[in-house]
A and B are shown apart, each in its own frame.
Chain A
């Protein structure tokens, strides 16, 4: 029940990317800052990471889903609402409550978290290019849902002492939605989304079990 063709989907990305340029550069800078901060944790750094994630989700909900995706997809308003809810959850969990630390540990959760973050910023776009999805038709880090969701998985896995469950629910839902769309729209790079979701859930369960 996907109401548009791959041709239209990538034409939409082209229009979106050109309209929001140079937000993609800003997103990459913020992503690199987050990546650096997990190696040098601090109270303000934690809040900054939480704020960046919330801003990514809010931006994707409003700019991508509501303003650009809605004209071609009747489900986009629902996606926009889910993304804004996720932004609020992240804000509440990491800014208002603020009782978790994002920290890289030399363990499976740490390795998985950083790998997913780097995957979202580097490998995902390269996979996209290998599939013929080049700028400006590419789903760019931070401003397009798929790489942003993989990045979120990575960051959440670094939460210490436990990975919070509530903030990961909507990303997992999106991974499943996007994974099915990847099949119908022939977007091989998006197959990585459900895989990242599986990794995130598996590592979350393992890490939280050990923490308790």
Chain B
């Protein structure tokens, strides 16, 4: 991807990390400070990948279920429109996995039909055992996406992570992948992920965090901030159940103050306003939902006090 620079964050790495670390500590006490500012009118909100000058938009795109459409031409073309909307509105990180059926192949199909994909930050996973099968799978993924190399290769659900991490370290050194990471979801194996984060040189981690599941605030998010690891958040809507649960309720009167016109924006803004979060990856198969999600890139985001209000409001419903 081309490195997209915005004027949103004019802070040094040290000050960002310092701010994140202290914000993490304050989060535990329920009073952390905001660490993100409004974007300039047409600039999407971005966050830096710790330890680099590279920034990525704070809203990415997941592909679990939504892009697994098999060979259906009609559904593939519909997904191409969704991905087109994603890039049109300033999107960057697209995340997938060999576990997601035909998603990687469909993403490759869609990318082949999209012109303004220069902001693409390609992220997939290795999801198998053994070095040889891992290597084969990662090469196959690159072919499916139609890429020479990925921006980010993650180890899916920590599966055979010791083996794959050795491969990925070597690949990163040789320039075959730009960043390496590890994932989990549904709140599983946080303890194991924490151990790996503490002992291994990861660039990214991915786990679940949303307004109803804030377990990650306790240890993973502060640790990521402390270690300078970028954080991708999956399941920001708990796979849609949050929206299904709350859509019959009105948004709070003050939702307009943080430019939330719907619950999707409300939940996404909560997630990406955590200072240790680099990017959230909601998944959708609909253009109108993609527009809602991507509008979050234009800010504003809630500050710490507003985040607390958001939690209290949702917990009251």
Interface residues, chain A, with chain B CB atoms under 8 Å away: 2-5, 7-8, 11-12, 15, 71-74
Which one of A7, A15, A73, A74 contacts B71 once the chains associate, using CB atoms below 8 Å?
A15
How many of B's residues come within 8 Å of A, CB to CB? 17
B33-75 at interface with A (beta carbon < 8 Å): 64-66, 68-72, 74-75
What chain A residues lie within 8 Å of B100 (beta carbons)? 3
Which one of B70, B74, B98, B285 contacts A72 once the chains associate, using CB atoms below 8 Å?
B70
A7, B75: Cα distance in complex, Å: 9
Which of chain B's residues has its CB closest to A5's CB? B65
B184 touches A (CB below 8 Å): no
- Quick check: A11 and B72 within 8 Å, CB to CB? yes
What chain A residues lie within 8 Å of B293 (beta carbons)? none
Looking at chain B's contact residues, the main secondary structure is loop
- Closest Cβ of chain B to A7, distance in Å, is 7
- Quick check: A3 and B72 within 8 Å, CB to CB? no
Which of chain B's residues has its CB closest to A14's CB? B72
Interface string of B231-261 (1 = CB under 8 A from A): 0000000000000000000000000000000
A7, B66: Cα distance in complex, Å: 10
B102 touches A (CB below 8 Å): yes
- Quick check: B68 and A3 within 8 Å, CB to CB? yes
- Closest Cβ of chain A to B13, distance in Å, is 38
- Quick check: A8 and B64 within 8 Å, CB to CB? no
A3, B68: Cα distance in complex, Å: 7
A85, B274: Cα distance in complex, Å: 51
B300 touches A (CB below 8 Å): no
A62, B16: Cα distance in complex, Å: 55
- Quick check: B72 and A8 within 8 Å, CB to CB? yes
- Quick check: B70 and A8 within 8 Å, CB to CB? yes
What chain A residues lie within 8 Å of B129 (beta carbons)? none
Knowing A3-B64, A8-B68, say if A72 contacts B101 (CB, 8 Å): yes
Q: Enumerate 28 A-B pairs (CB-CB under 8 Å) in ascending A order.
A: A3-B68, A3-B99, A3-B100, A4-B68, A4-B70, A4-B101, A5-B65, A5-B66, A5-B68, A5-B285, A7-B75, A7-B285, A8-B68, A8-B69, A11-B69, A11-B72, A11-B74, A11-B75, A12-B72, A71-B70, A71-B101, A71-B105, A72-B68, A72-B69, A72-B70, A72-B102, A74-B98, A74-B101
- Quick check: B70 and A11 within 8 Å, CB to CB? yes
B89-124 at interface with A (beta carbon < 8 Å): 98-102, 105
